[in-house]
Amino acid sequence: MEQQKGPEVGTDLFVFGIFKGSETPGGCFSEMDKAWEGLLSRFIQEEWGPNEKKAEVIHSLGKFPAKRVMLVNAGEKEEFDLVKAREVFGFVTKEALKLKVRKVTYCLDSFNNGEEESVALAHALAEASLLASYRFDTYKTSEEDNPFTVEHVSVCVPEGEEEVKQGLETGQIFGEATCFARDLVNTPGNYLTPSRLAEKAVEIASKHGFEYDILDREQMEELGMGALLAVAQGSDQPPKMIVIKYQGKEKWEDVLAFVGKGLTFDTGGISLKPAKDMHEMKMDMGGAAAVLGAMDIIGRLKPKCNVLAVIPSTENMPSGRALKPGDVITSYAGKTIEVRNTDAEGRLILADGIAYAKTLGADYIVDVATLTGAILVALGEYTTGAVTNDETLMIEVLEAANEAGELVWRLPSFEPYKKMVRSSDVADLNNSPGRLAGSITAGLFLGEFAGDTPWVHLDIAGTAWANRETELNQKGGTGAMVRTLATLAERFAD
């Protein structure tokens, strides 16, 4: 990603945004139109307005160093924001891939409606370019399967705008980290085991000089992490409790903890899932992927805050040793849990993860998990559900999500829902009180282990996986909440 002073530099595709009702784009359009002897502005006036096409590509025929010019419909000027900008930039990227162009240059000012700063637009552009061009082809062996890639993206801006360069660089960091998380989510369960996930975490920690610790089964047994170990007992793969610490302040205080669900494959255990689409349950570690992606961004930007990452990781498998419905287990926090459904395992491993984060000094906790199918019923595939015990932290998370362009909606946490979680006749808690309000009760189950520590739960079961292609996603892992978590950490910086 880079910037250039004017439109005279050669490129394969030069892109202008046109707001609805505008006669011509802004920025460096007049300079290019002059080289074309007014043909571009004439085309817009005579052909563009009446049709209101989404985009139009025009060949330069040697009139300009750019081989093609793309005019893009940016919609209503008053409604154009960073969310819309990412969608437009993502659309352009996918069109560029179809055209098989290797170099794309944007007139960034033509997308500025006067409300958004150039640095934010540059961030959105770099981020969207990477997200839209993402492909997961690790296991394809035919050269024909290798997709075409855009090799170079630049922007045309006035001379001396160093902030734009900063925006491009930061957007690239956010985009690359999100794509890293997508790779983790898309990796098959036979390749991404809990041990391999731990190795990936160590790679991130070593890359940035973070302190880390990986607890194995024996260490967890000594500590009494009975909830995580109960889920893990049905699998031949050893469980891991992954811990990473980033200390951006002189003292280890005001610690923001990210706890990510690291279920590398979920069959449902004895409460076996239906066979249809079970292959997609490799994505059940989407929370862990989000946390690791966010930690990569934090390591590169180095905000002045303290961040703790905790990832409980295992598989959930049926076997002669597996956890059974009706079993009672004891968590790391000492609370007993009646297991009504072994497919409600995410909340079990997260219970130990959240409690362990508190012992490591967490002052604020945000957990991220592909926790419930019920969240898809409630919010569909577009919005992450949230449950909290602290209004102030919830507002911070919502504002971070808004800045990152990710949708989050807060669910209620009234006392009757908490009573459902405590409805067991034989233990302190019931891990599956029933279908009604399933996403709320799952979140509040975790709240029992957060206690008085300010806490927000993010259920990404609907947003971590895309079943169809969009402007910014391919089918598969989305990297949901990577950008929100990283933005939240930046908000915690002094």
Q: Which candidate in 273, 324, 335, 340 is catalytic?
A: 273
Do 346 and 367 form a contact (C-beta atoms < 8 A)?
no
Q: Which candidate in 84, 245, 347, 483 is catalytic?
A: 347
In a domain, 172, yes or no: no
Do 155 and 122 form a contact (C-beta atoms < 8 A)?
yes
Same structural domain for residues 119 and 213? Answer: no
Strands (E) in 285-442, as ranges, are: 306-316, 328-330, 336-338, 362-369, 384-388, 408-410, 429-430
Same structural domain for residues 135 and 213? Answer: no
Same structural domain for residues 43 and 90? Answer: yes
In a domain, 173, yes or no: no
First to last CA, the chain: 29
- Classify 14 as helix, strand or coil: strand
Is residue 54 over pLDDT 90?
Answer: no
In a domain, 245, yes or no: yes
Do 67 and 21 form a contact (C-beta atoms < 8 A)?
no
- Classify 137 as helix, strand or coil: coil
Average pLDDT over residues 362-378: 98
Q: Residue ranges of the alpha helices (H) in 330-476? A: 346-359, 374-379, 391-404, 415-421, 438-450
Same structural domain for residues 152 and 184? Answer: no
- Separation CA 290–CA 279 (nearest Å): 20
Output the average pLDDT for the chain.
93
Task: Please list, in sequence order, all residues whose beta carbon lies within 8 angstroms of the beta carbon of residue 55, skipping any fewer than 6 positions away.
Answer: 70, 71, 72, 73, 91, 92, 95
Same structural domain for residues 19 and 131? Answer: yes
Is residue 36 over pLDDT 80?
Answer: no
pLDDT tens profile 147-198? 678 888 999 876 657 889 999 999 999 999 999 999 999 999 999 999 999 9
- Separation CA 304–CA 283 (nearest Å): 32
In a domain, 170, yes or no: no
Same structural domain for residues 114 and 230? Answer: no
Is residue 221 over pLDDT 90?
Answer: yes
pLDDT: which is higher, 35 or 327: 327
Among 91-105, 140-154, 428-442, the least confident range: 140-154
What confidence score (pLDDT) does residue 9 get?
60
Nearest to 348 by CA among 364, 371, 373: 371
Is residue 28 over pLDDT 90?
Answer: no
Do 267 and 273 form a contact (C-beta atoms < 8 A)?
yes
What confidence score (pLDDT) does residue 315 get?
98
pLDDT: which is higher, 454 or 59: 454
Annotated binding-site residues for Mn(2+) read 261, 266, 284, 343, 345
pLDDT tens profile 112-158? 988 888 899 999 999 999 999 999 988 988 766 556 788 889 998 76
In a domain, 37, yes or no: yes
Do 284 and 454 form a contact (C-beta atoms < 8 A)?
no
Task: Please list, in sequence order, all residues whose beta carbon lies within 8 angstroms of the beta carbon of residue 154, skipping any fewer than 6 positions away.
Answer: 1, 2, 3, 4, 9, 11, 103, 104, 105, 106
Same structural domain for residues 247 and 285? Answer: yes
- What is the percentage of the chain residues whose pLDDT exceeds 70? 95
Q: Give the count of beta carbons closer than 10 Å to the beta carbon of residue 280.
A: 14
- Separation CA 408–CA 403 (nearest Å): 11
In a domain, 81, yes or no: yes
358 noted as active-site residue: no
Q: What is the CA 102 to chain-centroid distance, rounded?
A: 27
Q: At what angle do helices 286-301 and 482-492 cross, to 10 degrees?
A: 40
Same structural domain for residues 192 and 251? Answer: yes
Is residue 444 over pLDDT 90?
Answer: yes
- Classify 163 as helix, strand or coil: helix
Is residue 40 over pLDDT 70?
Answer: yes
Q: Among residues 121, 156, 191, which one ends one of the domains?
A: 156
In a domain, 378, yes or no: yes
Buried/exposed 412-445: b ≥16 CB within 10 Å, e otherwise: ebeeebbebbeebeebbbbbbbeeebbbbbbbbb
Dihedrals phi, psi of 383, to nearest 5 degrees: -130, 135
Total of domains in the chain: 2
In a domain, 163, yes or no: no
Same structural domain for residues 109 and 258? Answer: no
Same structural domain for residues 132 and 187? Answer: no
Same structural domain for residues 124 and 198? Answer: no
Q: What is the CATH number of the domain that holds 76?
A: 3.40.220.10
Same structural domain for residues 139 and 288? Answer: no
Nearest to 7 by CA among 37, 45, 34: 34
Greatest extent of the chain over all pairs of C-alpha atoms, in Å: 83
86 noted as active-site residue: no
- What is the percentage of the chain residues whose pLDDT exceeds 90? 79
Task: Print the domain residue range for 470.
Answer: 178-492
Q: What is the CATH number of the domain that holds 338?
A: 3.40.630.10
Do 169 and 1 form a contact (C-beta atoms < 8 A)?
yes
